[in-house]
Each structure stands twice: as C-alpha cells, then as structure tokens.
Amino acid sequence: REDLKRVLKKAGLEGRDTVFLFSDTQIVQEGFLEDLNNILNAGEVPNLLGPDDLEQISAGVRTAMAAAGMTINKMTIYSYFVNRVRSCLHLVLCFSPVGEAFRQRLRMFPSLVNCTTIDWFSEWPVEALTSVARSFCADLELDSSGANGGAGGRSRDDLLNGVLAACVHIHQSVEAKSKQYYAELRRYNYVTPTSYLELLNTFLRLLAEKRSEVSAAKKRLEGGLDKLTSTAAQVEVMQHELQELQPVLAATAKEVEDMMHVITHDKEEAAETKKIVEQQEREANEQAAAAKAIAACRIPQEV
C-alpha cells in the first residue's frame, strides 16, 4: 500500500505520467488485487490516504487549480487529484493464464477485464527468442581456443550462435509437443514466455555449477599430478644416493663378514678355554675333597 500511495501522489500531485507494473508473482494476498481493481474502476483506493496525505494533496494542487481557474474547496481538490491520477497513472498487469487462479481472479475483480486493454502474448517468433537469449548470454564466457577438444577452434560468435539456436529449438520443440498433447488428450500444457526465461536462467545456472565442479576437479587433478611429480623427483634423488652408497655398503658388508669370522673364531676359542677351565675346576674340586678327607682322618689320631 505504501507503493500505491507513492505512485498515486506522483501521478496526482506532480502530474507525471507514471507506470505501475505488477505481475501475478507479486500477489502475496488477494487484497492487492482489490486495491488495483478500485484504482482501475474509480481512480482511488478507499481509506488509503490519511489526513496528512490529504493536507499534502491540498497544498500541492492548489496552484495548478488556481492557474486553471477552478473553484478551490475540499471536494474539488480531491476530485482534481483523482482526475489527474486517472489521466497520468497507467497500470500494467502481467498475469499468466495458467491454472484456475487467473479465472477466479477475473470473476472476483471484473475491472481487471472491463477497465483494461488486454494484450495476449502467445508464441514469440524466432527473432524474439534469439534476441532475448542473446541478451541473457551477453556476458557468457565461451572457450573458443579449442584446447578442450569441444570447441574445435571455432570463434566465440559461432559458439554463442550454437547455444542460442539450441535454446530456441528446445523452447519451440516443447511448444510443438504441447500442441500435440492437446490434440491427442485435450489437455493443456502452457508454454509461456516465462517458461523460456526460466529455461535460460536454468541453463546459465547449470553452466555455472558445472564449470565450478570441473574447475574443482581440475585443481584436484593438478594437485595430484604435482604430488606425483614431486615424489618421482624424490625417488630419483634417493636412487642416485643409493647408487653412490653401493661401494660403501659393499665395503661395510665385507667388514661385517670378516668381523663375523673373527667373532666365530673367538667364540670357538672361548668354548675350548671354557672346557679346559671346567676340567681344571673339576680336578681342583676333587683334590680339595681328597684333602678334606685326609685332614678328617688325621684329626682323631692326634687326639
């Protein structure tokens, strides 16, 4: 309602030609249509303007009324304001015929039909479809280098014309199939200009999403290739170092082998020495036992 109030003041106070564009996608509640119905029918919306707004209107149109030689009072001021609104305000309503809501609204608010000029926009020609698609794709980046194998070295204009032709063909093929659908089953499938705009928006959105996915996959692949290259370089360095260390390793292995021989020989000598020591220990133990026995025999004789 604030938008309507601002538009009415602009048309009624300033006398400027004003267009109020309203589409069915903006209908949050049916009361919007009731206000538009009142404007179409009477040029005003009941109870829309408050006392402050009426004071502003009275102060704003007095000069114009005086210049026109009109009588200035409360009734003539408001009547002059409403007439200027009817003359300067142009309502443009964009409704889709799809569904039952359109028929119901026309029955509930007859001024939408009786006080308007209806322009039916049905099929767009090929030139219009191509022009709209070109406008949507004006900033579209296309790879014309042929580096990816898909472009084949074609120019950007050729690629863009191919994209536009594909969009037009898709829309027209759906229109043709919708006519066939009605002819065979007597059921409507509405294909409106909005459908074409949704097609273009969907194409651009999917293209952006797929390009983002491909870019992310490309970055992962490049990261993997960098890792493989780095690993291969490290392996090459390690192989070179290993080749350089081969003589040192061979000499170390020979030293270890010689040392093992020495250790084995020393172990054998230690085993022989251990046997001799054990034999001497047994003999010493036997001699000690014999000595103890002799000593035990002498002690009683002395006593």
- What HEC string does the chain produce? CHHHHHHHHHHHHHCCCEEEEEEHHHCCCCHHHHHHHHHHHHCCCCCCCCHHHHHHHHHHHHHHHHHCCCCCCHHHHHHHHHHHHHHHEEEEEECCCCCHHHHHHHHHCCHHHHCCCCCCCCCCCHHHHHHHHHHHCCCCCCCCCCCCCCCCCCCHHHHHHHHHHHHHHHHHHHHHHHHHHHHHHCCCCCCCHHHHHHHHHHHHHHHHHHHHHHHHHHHHHHHHHHHHHHHHHHHHHHHHHHHHHHHHHHHHHHHHHHHHHHHHHHHHHHHHHHHHHHHHHHHHHHHHHHHHHHHHHHHHHHC
- Predicted pLDDT at 297: 76
Q: Residue 95: pLDDT above 70?
A: yes
- Predicted pLDDT at 152: 53
Token pair, residue 47, equals: 């109870």
34-78: pLDDT as tens digits:
888 888 888 777 777 778 877 877 777 777 777 777 777 878 887
Token pair, residue 172, equals: 């027209």
- Predicted pLDDT at 203: 92
Which pLDDT band holds residue 303 (cuts at 50, 70, 90)? very low
- Predicted pLDDT at 57: 76
- Predicted pLDDT at 213: 93
- Predicted pLDDT at 201: 93
**Which residues, at least 6 apart from 36, have a Cβ–Cβ distance to it below 8 Å?**
22, 91, 93, 109, 111, 112
Angle subtended at Cα 289 by Cα 286 and Cα 292, rounded to the nearest 5 degrees: 150
249-295: pLDDT as tens digits:
888 888 888 888 888 888 888 888 888 888 888 888 888 888 888 87
106-137: pLDDT as tens digits:
888 888 888 888 887 767 888 989 999 998 88
5-31: pLDDT as tens digits:
788 777 777 778 888 888 888 887 878
155-193: pLDDT as tens digits:
778 888 888 899 999 998 998 898 898 899 988 787 878
The average confidence (pLDDT) of the chain is 82
**Does the model's pTM come out above 0.75?**
no
- Predicted pLDDT at 299: 57
End-to-end CA gap in the chain: 145
Please state, in angstroms and rounded to a whole number, the distance separating the CA atoms of residues 177 and 242: 73
Q: Residue 216: pLDDT above 90?
A: yes
- Predicted pLDDT at 102: 82
